Every structure is written in C-alpha cells, then in structure tokens.
Amino acid sequence: MEYQKWLIEIRPEILTKNNDSSLIEQFQNITVRPILKLLNNTIIQFSKTFISTLEISFDQMTTYEIENTLSNLFKKHPTFKVYLTGMVISYLSKNELNIYFENQKTINKRIYELLEQRLKSQIPLLSS
C-alpha cells in the first residue's frame, strides 16, 4: 500500500458537519481531529513524561489546579508544543503538509487548543 494513502486510512473516522466550513475548519475536522484521536495514547504518555521531568505532581492538586497547570504548559513551555505539533504533522500526507505550511500559524493555534482540551478532558489518565 502506498504510504500517503496509508497515512489517511489508519486514522479513525470522526463524524463532523462540514457543510459550509472554511478550509481551515475542514482541515481541523477531517485531518487534525482524527490524527489526535489516533495518537491519543502517545500524547497522554508523552505529556505524563514531560510533566514528570518538570517535577510536577498532580497528586495533591484540585482539578482546577491541574487544568491551570496544563494551560501553563502550553504557554510557558514551547518545547512541549513543538514536540506535540511534530507528532501531529508527522501523520500528514504530502497534500495535507502543503495545506499545513500555507496556513501554519492558524493550524498550529487550532492544534494547541485541541491538544489542551484533549489533555484536560483526560486528567485521570495523566494522573495515573
């Protein structure tokens, strides 16, 4: 099987409404969201390891404090964002990479927002 085709076929299907969406929104829903779902376990494990290297422990934190800590990771640790973005773009096809590079700033912002939401929604997995 051709590698470019395989990259798209391995992604889980996510049902979305794409009626009159912009190119960026379509890219987010058709490309980025399935990749994030595919990589969920890797994203969780990477985040847990990164957090532990910062010697942050969620053991005594409230959910609110953990959410703030996760938000701060995206604000104060560009390395964290770069690694996660690299994971996502490594699963883009050639055509998708072209779209990504043409709209990199906007797509990165959406990737960060989706990743932050994803991590916040899975706090128990980050704490275990």
Q: How many domains does the chain have?
A: 1
| Interval 42-61 mean pLDDT | 95
Query: Is 14 among the domain residues?
Result: no
Query: Is 3 among the domain residues?
Result: no
Query: Is 42 among the domain residues?
Result: yes
Query: Is 6 among the domain residues?
Result: no
Query: Is 95 among the domain residues?
Result: yes
Output the pTM of the full model: 0.92
Query: Is 8 among the domain residues?
Result: no
* Residue range(s) defining the domain that contains residue 39: 23-127
Query: Is 102 among the domain residues?
Result: yes
81 confidence band (pLDDT: 50, 70, 90): very high
Reference 123, options 41, 76, 42, 66; nearest CA is 66
Assigned token pair, 4: 């470019």
d(CA 36, CA 88): 7
pLDDT for 15-28, tens place per residue?
877 567 899 999 99
d(CA 33, CA 37): 6
87 confidence band (pLDDT: 50, 70, 90): very high
pLDDT of residue 18: 59
Q: Is 4 helix (H, G, I), strand (E, B) or coil?
A: helix
CB hemisphere CA count around 27 (13 angstroms):
23
Query: Is 17 among the domain residues?
Result: no
pLDDT for 97-118, tens place per residue?
999 999 999 999 999 999 999 9
